[in-house]
Chains A and B, each alone.
Chain A
Amino acid sequence: MPEFWNDGDPIADTAAPDGPIETRWERRKFSAKLVNPANRRKLTVIVVGTGLAGGSAAATLAEAGYHVKSYCYQDSPRRAHSIAAQGGINAAKNYRNDGDSIYRLFYDTVKGGDFRARESNVYRLATVSVNIIDQCVAQGVPFAREYGGLLDNRSFGGTQVSRTFYARGQTGQQLLLGAYQAMERQIGLGNIEMNARHEMLELIVVDGKARGIVVRDMVTGEITTEMADAVVLASGGYGNVFFLSTNAKGCNVTASWRAHRKGALFGNPCYTQIHPTCIPESGTHQSKLTLMSESLRNDGRVWVPKAREDKRAPGDIPEAERDYYLERIYPSFGNLVPRDIASRAAKNVCDEGRGVGPGGLGVYLDFADAIGRLGKTAVEAKYGNLFEMYQRITGEDPYETPMRIYPAVHYTMGGLWVDYDLQSTIPGLFVVGEANFSDHGANRLGASALMQGLGDGYFVLPTTLGNYLAAGPFAPIPQDHEEVQKARKTVEERISTLLKVDGDRTVDSFHRELGHIMWEYCGMERTEEGLTKAIGLIRSLKEEFWQRVKVPGTGEQLNQNLEKAGRVADFFELAELMCIDALHRRESCGGHFRAESQTPDGEALRHDDEFSYVAAWEYAGDSGKPTLHKEQLEFEYVHPSTRSYK
């Protein structure tokens, strides 16, 4: 296998204090150097992305007195994809007196991440979770409340405590609006310079430090170089490498990937989360997938026909010819098995040719029994809005005919490697939110993504970034500096190359094909053979892309296909690294399932002795082999155990 990568030196997180885990963050905050308030306005910080992590970071840094320059590709910072999060946000408030605590949230998160996350980081996340709720309530986030006027909680994602705060089905939007409004206040005060419809296309590194970015104004096409004392990436995840995912259409890896190419290590790229209850594809026009709450599995029964290629309508298939496969294989958990197991089982039955709906990519989620048992009114009260959403998209009435569901890529746990300070391997380059790899290990728990994004942005970064900036202000970098000009030239040349190819295939057609390869070979179930094949396919598709892609228009205007082309070009390179990472990790853990590593019952089998580390990959040039640096994970508090759902 090492034909695909080189082994490098191990790395370690040197920023985290050791000693008792409960006080590590306290001690780090105390040891962090402070920046004199008068000096802060002389320090400029670039923040790329305006989701929960980027928005909260930009607002907080500006409040602290730093000069912030913020960038997003959308037309307004309020539209970042954090907005689409439905479920809720976890916090160890223990308002229910049900035995929750910071330690329990920490424990659940480490275990949920299948023992592939750093204990220090996760403990800190659990610690700041309580402050996040306070902060959001103070901003006016309209969380659900009880009749007494206090905050309501629910249990989410199979946890046994109720620690999830929510705002009906749109917690993400409400939290993001809180951060956005705080940010707009700072924009109004002149402390944040907001650049919407701008895309970061390159990182500028001078004397080993991240000092700026190259951006393209997506309206005029103008390329500018923006300098600062530090750069923060909050540019989200890379689920769109699969083309079809629950991510927004514009979500991309370019900012992270450009930083990776400049030397930032990429951590655990193969860890992707696949959500079992999404609305399936309806045809070749499909452009994205929509997630429905997992709560549907509480009352819906999952089944497929027993016979292959059974084209009968679901109502015409008699009970005896249906296979309630989750109930059959997992008799004790049945339809409520965890996300990854439910997803994999659905793929398996579809691979057997027993899938339903267009293309045979779907399984039934049937509420007939629930309606019979509870009555239509009760089912409507519980799931009415989800049924309505399903009907809006598919045109089918789930009260009459079973829903069709299929898994879809939902979140990527991997991302740029950062230390306890959220600093990447390039000094001055900090990475927050989904863009970093840090807190979720190999699998993210429900309602934890919002917590991490806001924790990073409101509470962690402002402290740790200050520690870095205390050494500044750094020497000004003139525009004609060699590195600045080089970065700018890279961007300009890439754009002109993309435009010059003028081939005969559209960007989307390449992206779709790449997505198919990734879904097939680097999706829910991965094998050595499949991954090796995928790497070959990706390489030849990438080559074809640079010879045959057709990008219409010019670079000096709003050109949505040019934007897409640049992003897809980066997805090709990322896809290859994801496959290599998946190939090298010969174990199954969390969202990564290697067919070769399973128990006799078909469950994921970890190999803690061999793989209890973070795989941090170093970029090695266009055709070179990436170098693997291992960060060994130590579990002093939560000892690795195996989960079972039979």
Chain B
Amino acid sequence: MAVDTRTPKVAKAKPAATPAKRTSSVALKIFMAVTGILLVLFLYAHMIGNLKIFFGEGTFDHYAHWLRTIGTPILPNEWYLWIQRGGLTIAVVGHVVAATILARRARRARPVKYAHRPKVQGSYAARTMRWGGVIILLFVIYHILDLTTLTLNPKAESGHPYANVVADFAPGRWYVTLFYTLAIVAIGFHLRHGLFSAVRTLGQQKPRGEVIARATALALSLILVIGYLSVPFAVLTGLVD
């Protein structure tokens, strides 16, 4: 036996503590991509519903009522809606939890910040995903309290969403419109990068596909922003009243 005669090295003799196996960051991201895409599908459905406001109070309120009857008579009234709400809640919570884990990881990955703030190379949208996400979450909570539970709605007439919306965006309540606008723009930014990022996370890998994915993400975000903002601004300008 020749060896094992080396001088002990304190630093090296100690076996490196095996760190706990972390959940795969790519798996977390795939989860975020899937939940994110589900939420975007919902946003589009929701937007189409919103646009019914331009067809008048009857159409809009009827649409809102119809939502409660989806799935009947196989499902009792409103059951589908609750299933969807449940699904959306799981998606939102899951999306946020995964984002939080990854955000904490990212923060721990760079404990000392650069003295010279790195120049921005990537897009503004990419860098504002996290704060944008927080703003969107706060807005969603407010939005549910406002137009679903009607807790914060000035009119708060159950079964008359058209009236509630019109009351909400009345010119005197400009701050609500402003908050709504900010939130929608935040969603726009979030999706502009988020949609591309989701596609990439799910495996998009061709340079040409990247151009298409980025353009599509931009278009879908713009359509969504315009679609959603058209409602309050129509109310504000009196187009809808």
Contact = CB atoms under 8 A, between A and B. Distances in A.
A479 B3 contact: no
Contacts of B4: 476
A645 interface: no
A414 to B, nearest CB: 31
Contact of A44 (B2, B7, B9, B11): B2
Interface stretch (A10-18, A108-116, A178-186, A218-226): A218-226
Contact of B7 (A42, A475, A476, A479): A479
A410 B3 CA distance: 38
Nearest to A474: B2
A473 B2 contact: yes
Contact of B6 (A42, A220, A226, A473): A226
A195 B2 CA distance: 19
A43 B2 contact: yes
A229 interface: yes
B6 A67 contact: no
Q: Of residues B1, B2, B5, B11, which shows the largest number of chain A Cβ atoms within 10 Å of its Cβ?
A: B2
A478 interface: yes
A63 B8 CA distance: 26
Contact of B3 (A44, A217, A220, A222): A44
B10 to A, nearest CB: 9
A227 B6 contact: yes
A472 interface: yes
Contacts of B1: 42, 473, 476
Nearest to A43: B2
A61 interface: no
Contacts of A475: 2
Chain A at the B interface: SS class: loop
A227 B7 CA distance: 9
A229 B4 CA distance: 11
Interface in B1-58: 1-7, 9, 11
Interface in A464-482: 472-479
B7 to A, nearest CB: 5
B2 A225 contact: no
A215 to B, nearest CB: 10
A302 interface: no
B5 A478 contact: yes
B5 A479 contact: yes
Interface in A191-235: 211, 217, 220, 222, 224-229
A227 B9 contact: no
A225 B9 contact: no
A225 B4 CA distance: 11
A42 B7 CA distance: 18
A220 B9 CA distance: 11
B9 A224 contact: yes
B2 A227 contact: yes
A196 to B, nearest CB: 12
A228 B11 contact: no
Nearest to A473: B2
Interface string A22-45: 000000000000000000001110
B2 A476 contact: yes
Nearest to A44: B3
Contacts of A478: 5
A227 B5 contact: yes
A209 to B, nearest CB: 11
Interface string B105-133: 00000000000000000000000000000
A476 B6 contact: no
A65 to B, nearest CB: 15
Nearest to A230: B2
Contacts of B2: 42-44, 211, 227-229, 472-477
A477 B5 contact: yes
A43 B7 CA distance: 18
B7 A67 contact: no
Nearest to B9: A224
A286 B120 CA distance: 33
Contacts of A224: 6-7, 9
A472 B11 CA distance: 31
Contact of B11 (A43, A220, A473, A474): A220
A225 B6 CA distance: 6
Contacts of A474: 2
A227 B3 CA distance: 6
A476 B9 contact: no
Contacts of A226: 6
Contact of B5 (A43, A67, A220, A476): A476
Contacts of A479: 5-7
Nearest to B6: A226
A510 B3 CA distance: 40
Contacts of B6: 224-227, 479
Nearest to B5: A227
A22 B72 CA distance: 89
Interface string B54-72: 0000000000000000000
A176 to B, nearest CB: 25
Contacts of A476: 1-5
26 contacts: A42-B2, A43-B2, A44-B2, A44-B3, A67-B3, A211-B2, A217-B9, A220-B11, A222-B9, A224-B7, A224-B9, A225-B7, A227-B3, A227-B5, A228-B2, A473-B1, A473-B2, A474-B2, A476-B2, A476-B3, A476-B4, A476-B5, A477-B2, A477-B5, A478-B5, A479-B6
Given A217-B9, A475-B2, 12 more contacts: A42-B1, A42-B2, A222-B9, A224-B6, A227-B5, A229-B2, A473-B1, A474-B2, A476-B4, A477-B5, A479-B5, A479-B7
A-B complex: 5 closest residue pairs judged by Cβ atoms:
A44-B3, A229-B2, A473-B2, A227-B5, A224-B7
Interface of B: 1-7, 9, 11
